């Protein structure tokens, strides 16, 4: 069975073996980030709706469970847009807990809907929340996140602080830096003050490593990342991490490079199975062959063969970024 809403599991630096759930099924988001790997937000909204019914997601997950080759360390709610926009998110979290009673649930979110009491209440049942905030400077937010007109910096920060007061699980905050856009001293100072108040369990400072919506968006240097890590981690309650990672926060813990790996050590899957997994993965964000091999744990030569066949079938295309070929699905 091909899945529309279940993807992975793949290895993630922060969550281990993570099985992803797509809660919106399309590029539906309250932000339109310039670095988004999914592409331009097609529906910019803060309206909560059952974009994908919980029953459909849980039916796929139940089927996946009957065929699962391995048990995931986490089930992670994310997807091609903002998962908290799904008004049935609470039912999804509850359903996941019933299907996988011993597996923690993580939620990747862009932090924009914490002002909504229903969202905060639904998220209380999760075990780890991974919110992201890129900037607390209003002009920078308009530039990097291009948010829905009803949103502003204060709505994000006050909502997240209110949630922290109620939540007993872990909070891993992420900040993504784009060169010349949100890497200002002003932003660093404001974030440091906010993090000191929020006291998340972990802070990740990341930059882009894959193509985003805008070609002009580019990563900051390793020195910059290091400086930000030092400052923001000292303000947090736990050790922070600093790494180059994927550019879509909703993808990060579902698809993340895990450092040095022998790319031929992955699974020798039958070609149709590899093609299905790869197509599912690149339909969410562009990736190179080594990134796919690492994330999906498929031997690189099998990935190469599957990519070749998918190209011949006109199901994928690629874009060159420097020497790297980033594959993405052909959108209908
Ligand atoms: S990067 Fe994430 S938050 Fe930003 S537009 Fe893409 S899906 Fe939405």
Asked whether 38 lines ligand 1 (CB < 6 A), one says yes
In the chain, CATH 1.10.10.10 sits at 271-329
With 0-12 / 13-18 / 19 or more C-beta atoms within 10 angstroms meaning exposed / middle / buried, residue 256 is: buried
- Cβ 17 vs Cβ 72: under 8 Å: yes
Residue 183: Cβ within 10 Å count: 23
Contact 210, 286 (CB under 8 A): yes
Q: If you measure from the C-alpha of residue 305 to the centroid of ligand 1, how many angstroms do you get, rounded to a whole number?
A: 31
Q: How far is the CA of 232 from the centre of ligand 1 (A)?
A: 22
Question: In whole angstroms, what is the distance from residue 186 CA to residue 267 CA?
Answer: 47
**The pLDDT of residue 237:** 58
Using one digit for the tens of pLDDT, what is the confidence trace for 240-292? 444 444 444 444 444 444 444 577 778 888 888 888 888 888 877 788 898 88
Q: In 222-312, at which residue ranges do the beta strands (DSSP E only) sit?
A: 241-242
Ligand 1 atom closest to the Cα of residue 32 is 5
Predicted TM-score (pTM) of this structure? 0.81
- Whose C-alpha lies nearest to ligand 1, atom 4? 33
For residues 310 and 316, the answer to whether their CB atoms sit within 8 Å is yes
The more confidently predicted of residues 16 and 82 is: 82
d(CA 240, CA 242): 7
Tell me the mean pLDDT in the region 226-253. 62
d(CA 290, CA 60): 28
Question: Residue 180: is its pLDDT beyond 70?
Answer: yes
Residue 69, pLDDT above cutoff 80:
no
CATH of 271-329, one of 2.102.10.10, 3.40.50.410, 1.10.10.10, 1.10.150.120: 1.10.10.10
On whether the CB atoms of residues 275 and 229 are closer than 8 A, the answer is no
Question: Which CATH class name applies to 6-236?
Answer: alpha beta
Position with higher pLDDT, 40 vs 48 = 48
DSSP 8-state class, residue 83 = G
From the CA of 30, give the closest atom in ligand 1. 8
Residues of the chain with CATH 3.20.20.70: 6-236
């Amino acid at each position: 069975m091909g899945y529309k809403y279940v993807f992975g599991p793949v290895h993630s630096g922060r969550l281990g073996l993570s099985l992803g759930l797509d809660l919106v099924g399309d590029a539906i988001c309250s932000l339109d980030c310039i670095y988004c790997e999914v592409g331009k937000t097609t529906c910019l909204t803060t309206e909560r709706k059952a974009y994908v019914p919980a029953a459909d997601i849980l039916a796929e997950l139940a089927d996946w469970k009957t065929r699962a080759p391995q048990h995931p360390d986490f089930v992670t709610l994310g997807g091609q847009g903002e998962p908290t926009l799904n008004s049935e998110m609470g039912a999804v979290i509850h359903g996941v807990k019933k299907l996988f009673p011993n597996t923690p649930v993580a939620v990747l979110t862009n932090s924009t809907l914490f002002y909504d009491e229903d969202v905060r209440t639904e998220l209380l049942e999760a075990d780890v929340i991974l919110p992201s905030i890129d900037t607390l400077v209003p002009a920078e937010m308009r530039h990097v996140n291009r948010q829905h007109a009803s949103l502003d910096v204060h709505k994000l920060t006050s909502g997240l602080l209110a949630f922290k007061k109620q939540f007993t699980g872990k909070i891993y905050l992420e900040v993504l830096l784009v060169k010349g856009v949100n890497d200002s001293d002003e932003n660093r100072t404001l974030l440091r003050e906010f993090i000191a108040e929020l006291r998340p369990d972990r802070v990740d400072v990341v930059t882009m490593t894959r193509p985003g919506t805008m070609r002009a968006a580019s990563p900051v240097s390793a020195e910059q990342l290091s400086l930000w890590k030092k400052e923001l981690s000292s303000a947090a309650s736990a050790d922070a991490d600093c790494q180059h990672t994927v550019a879509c926060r909703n993808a990060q813990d579902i698809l993340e490079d895990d450092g040095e790996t022998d790319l031929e050590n992955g699974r020798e899957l039958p070609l149709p199975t590899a093609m299905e997994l790869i197509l599912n993965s690149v339909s969410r964000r562009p990736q190179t062959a080594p990134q796919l091999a690492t994330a999906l744990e498929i031997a690189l030569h099998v990935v190469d063969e599957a990519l070749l066949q998918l190209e011949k079938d006109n199901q994928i295309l690629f874009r060159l970024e420097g020497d790297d070929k980033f594959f993405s699905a052909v959108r209908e």
